[in-house]
Structure 1
Amino acid sequence: MVLTDDIQTFVHGIPIEREFVGIYFNSIHPWMPFLSEKLFMERVLSPLGPARPESTMLVATVKLIALPPPNLVARSAIYKSIKANLLSAEALGLLELKIFQSLVLLSLYELGHAIYPEAYMTIGHCIRYGHSLGLEKTVEQDSPAGLDNLEAEERRRSWWAIVVLEHLMTLGCVDRASPVGHPKNTSLLPADDMVWEVDGQQDVIQHRLCDPPTATMGRFCLTAQAAILLGKVFMQIHDPANDEGMRDHEARVLENTIAALTEVSLQEGRLRGVGVCSPTTICYR
């Protein structure tokens, strides 16, 4: 894959110029922590190896989302070029985790800047690309052979990131079918953020979607649970098949579950010193 010149110019100076990397990991990463900072620094920004196109695209999307758009125009020329290069990667059959992660960041950029309907389309495209990589399987099984704990967890968190974004996207188009599907109750949730980021190689407690929420699960784990509950609320509202008595019962169960998760997320915020937690925000929606 040959990247266009403007992409090369946009990331010129990497890894010397790293200010935007710090902005990303200090401002954006805490509430959507799916990129491993350790792997990003060692394998993406490392000057020791040749610059691979998928790594360059990941750096470009990190820079795109970390810095204000030129002249405060969200649909900037570099945004359009990044989007075109990512589509070119798919057309060339390039299946790489870093391309998927770039698409997640592009989706997040479009959602954050209210670029519609592109955000809806990009999220759907990202989900299909993730299916091509088999990432949906990462939440249904333990780490596959050949991957260490850090890499396996990053793949799992990357899939959860697009699941969360897809459920948030549904807020604006609740009558459209979800392409991501519904995780099982036994699906593996993201590990505790603090443990994963401090030492991703050590064994961590692996929670499942059916587990009751606790303040020590980690913010991203609780965010994933909140997003799934949000999806169940949409199903409850727009599913006319259930009889009224059953719907009332399910509504009460959902209300109690959301209330419990809200309380836990507030506890987690106090425990970690976070003013507003992303799971709390989703619960209040």
Structure 2
Amino acid sequence: MSIEGRAMIAKKACTRCSKSKKRCDRAIPGCRLCTRFGRRCEYEDSMASSLGPTPSQSPGLETFLASEPITLSHLKNAVIHKLGPFTPESAVSAYHQAIEPWFPITSELRGRLRPTWDETSLDVTLLCLSILLLTTSPSSTAESDGNTSELETLYLQTKSSLALAEGLGFNSFPIVQSRILTTLFEVSHGFYPAAYISIGATLRAADALEVHPRGDALQPHYSDGAVSHEETILIWCGILVLDRYITIESGPRSSLTRSRIGWLHNLLKPALCPTHEPNQDKNSPVSRFARLMEASAMIDKIHTTINSPTSDQIFNIEEMMLTVKTSIALQTILTEEILAEDRLYSGGLGLCQIALLLAYENGTKVSSSANATENWNSLATTSLIRILSTITSTIELFTMETRSIDFNYFPPLVTFLVYKAAMIITERLSIELDVKDGLARLRTLRKFLRIVAKRWLSCERYLKLLNEDTTPRMLKAIEQGQGSF
């Protein structure tokens, strides 16, 4: 054996293997057994320490990115370092308080965690890093020196960790969930094109696990036990909702999941359809995600009809009107299930309203060439004014400081609804439609975006986009509270 080869072997077994009386290959910096399970590997002998810092001494991702070789043990220790004082119990609490109410991506987090990070598997640790990322608020102090903010640093750490896990050939169900939450972070803070790219990687990561049906059975892969059917349902609901939401944000291209909706329907239908039955628990993770999923399906259908129409305009209008009726029916169900004061916090209701807003906006622009198109144009115009009024009324109390927003329950996907309403009103004002009411509504919508921007940075992006489409004269009228311009 060469000198280099001998230098990579410790004199004694690692501490963990010694205590558990396992056969240890004594590899440095981490033995095969510890590396396989993503655990911290430590040696007591002097040779190990003479070769440099052990993984337990690694100060973080920045250090081991420049070191070789990189192992799963290195990665886990860097993730633990980044988690800092964030404990496994803190991760559970943060998830249930600030994510689960509006995006219940897992129902098994507590069962997967162990008392300490050392005992917790690498993939679950990565999932908790994503929870920390998503529940961290932007700093209230402006970054005047151009340096990267703490939130951006945490984001880059999380993305790098996921990329390293992928490069090391490690993929699992919690890692896919971590990717979903990271993509959700990008959407919520307006990180584009990152979100657009990430949803594709997330979908492929789920495919790589073969969590979709193969015949009558699922073939899940998980580093620490079997994947429950409910977890499979939640992960695919999460992917579907984000994919469809990102699609309407990004333009006319179709959603990535649209071509596979047949087998996804077969997977999700047995679990989601019973959620409409009266005796079902409407607060269960599957029931709440079912509403989000159904509402996102309305968005996807309307997006398809608008951007991939057939050559028959009458058929397209009939398809649009049918989807609108279905969306209204779902909206009615959701309205009955939710208290009036809680409607702002319903992601399903928000996505339903986005679908209707897109449909009505498109209907007002349809040229009247026949009775059917003329009727649809008239209905869309009337309905558009009504829904704009409804959206403004829902958020008005929060802009008047009568009520404060509880961001633990507020779904950031609703921000696109407010932006889209503001954009439509801006366009109508530019052609001098609804000037008096439009200005008042636009002030309310823009003020709401400024309030929410303190938590979700996507609103800053929306305000910039609105300013690009707002004339100086109109902007002055909005800022001065004038009734005309």
Change (3 A) 1:62 1:262: same
Deviation of 1:21 after TM superposition, in Å, equals 3.5
Q: Give per-residue Cα distances to partners, 1:58-99, cap 9 Å, x unaligned.
A: 111111111224567475222111101101111122120011
Q: Work out whether 1:97 is the aligned partner of 2:168.
A: no
Cα distance change on mapping 1:131 and 1:81 into 2, 3 Å? same
Name the residue aligned to 2:195: 119
Q: CA deviation at 1:224?
A: 0.5
Q: Deviations over 1:172-212 (max 9, x none)?
A: 2132232223523843448xxxxxxxxxxxxxx7334xx89
Give 1:49 shift.
Answer: 7.4
Task: Establish whether residue 9 from structure 1 lines up as the match of residue 75 from structure 2.
Answer: no
Aligned-partner residue type, residue 174 of structure 1: G
From 142, 148, 158, the counterpart of 2:235: 158
Question: Rg bigger for which structure?
Answer: 2
Deviations 1:94-135 (A, max 9, x none): 120011010001001111111111111111110111111123
Once residues 351 and 191 of structure 2 are traced to their aligned partners in structure 1, the CA distance between those partners, rounded to angstroms, is 20
Question: Are residue 173 (structure 1) and residue 250 (structure 2) matched?
Answer: yes
Change beyond 3 A, Cα 1:124–1:146: closer
Match of 1:44 among 113, 132, 141: 113
- Equivalent-residue separation in structure 1 for 2:314 and 2:233 (angstroms): 37
Q: How far apart, in 2, do the equivalents of 1:4 and 1:64 lie? A: 16
Measure the CA separation in 2 of the matches of 1:186 and 1:163.
11
Q: Per the alignment, do residues 206 and 177 of structure 1 end up closer, same or farther by CA in structure 2, a change over 3 Å counting?
A: closer
Please report how far the alpha carbon of residue 26 of structure 1 lies from its aligned counterpart in structure 2 after TM superposition.
1.7
Counterpart amino acid of residue 135 in structure 1: V
Query: Are residues 1:60 and 2:125 paired?
Result: no
1:33 equivalent in alignment to 2:104: yes
2:325 counterpart residue number: 256
Distance 1:29 1:116, change over 3 A: same
- Alignment counterpart, residue 271 of structure 2, candidates 201, 206, 219: 206
Asked whether the equivalents of residues 331 and 352 of structure 2 are also in contact (C-alpha less than 8 Å), the reply is yes
Are residues 177 and 239 of structure 1, via their aligned partners in 2, closer, same or farther at CA, if it must alter by over 3 Å?
closer
Once residues 63 and 81 of structure 1 are traced to their aligned partners in structure 2, the CA distance between those partners, rounded to angstroms, is: 12
TM-score by length of 1: 0.80
SS at match of 1:228: helix
Bigger Cα displacement from structure 2, 173-182 vs 212-221:
212-221
CA contact (8 A) 1:189 1:224 kept: no
1:282 corresponding residue in structure 2: 351
- SS at the partner of 1:183? helix
| Alignment check: 8 A CA contact 2:244 2:296 kept | yes
Q: How many residues align?
A: 264
Choose from 81, 88, 94 the match for 1:23: 94
- Contact 2:298–2:323 (8 Å) recurs in 1: yes
Give the conservation status (yes or no) of the 8 Å contact 1:175–1:238.
Answer: yes
Secondary structure at the residue paired with 1:3?
helix
CA gap of 1:117–1:61, structure 2 versus 1, over 3 A, is same
Residues 53 and 145 (structure 1 numbering): CA distance in 2 closer, same or farther, change over 3 Å?
Answer: closer
**SS of match in other structure, 2:337:** helix
Using the alignment, how far apart are the partners of 1:119 and 1:145 within structure 2?
26
Distance 2:88 2:129 in 1: 14
Match of 1:268 in 2: 337
Letter in 2 for 1:125: A
Moved more, 99-108 or 21-30: 21-30
Contact 1:266 1:277 in 2 (8 A): no
Q: Distance in 2 between matches of 1:48 and 1:17?
A: 10
The code of the aligned residue for 1:183 comes to I
Distance verdict in 2 for CA 1:260–1:141, change over 3 Å:
farther
Give the equivalent residue in structure 1 for 2:297: 228
Q: 1:141 to 1:113 in 2, by over 3 A?
A: farther
Tell me whether 46-55 or 228-237 shows the greater mean CA deviation.
46-55
Stretch of structure 1 that moved more, 146-155 or 53-62 = 146-155
Q: For residues 4 and 159 of structure 1, do their structure 2 counterparts lie closer, same or farther at Cα, with a shift above 3 Å needed?
A: same
User: Which residue matches 1:187?
Assistant: 266
**Please, which runs of 5 or more residues in structure 1 have no aligned partner?**
191-204
1:206 maps to amino acid: A
For 2:208 and 2:110, locate their aligned partners in 1 and report how far apart those are by CA, in whole Å: 26
More RCO (CA 8 Å, sep 6+): 1
CA distance in 1, matches of 2:290, 2:201: 24
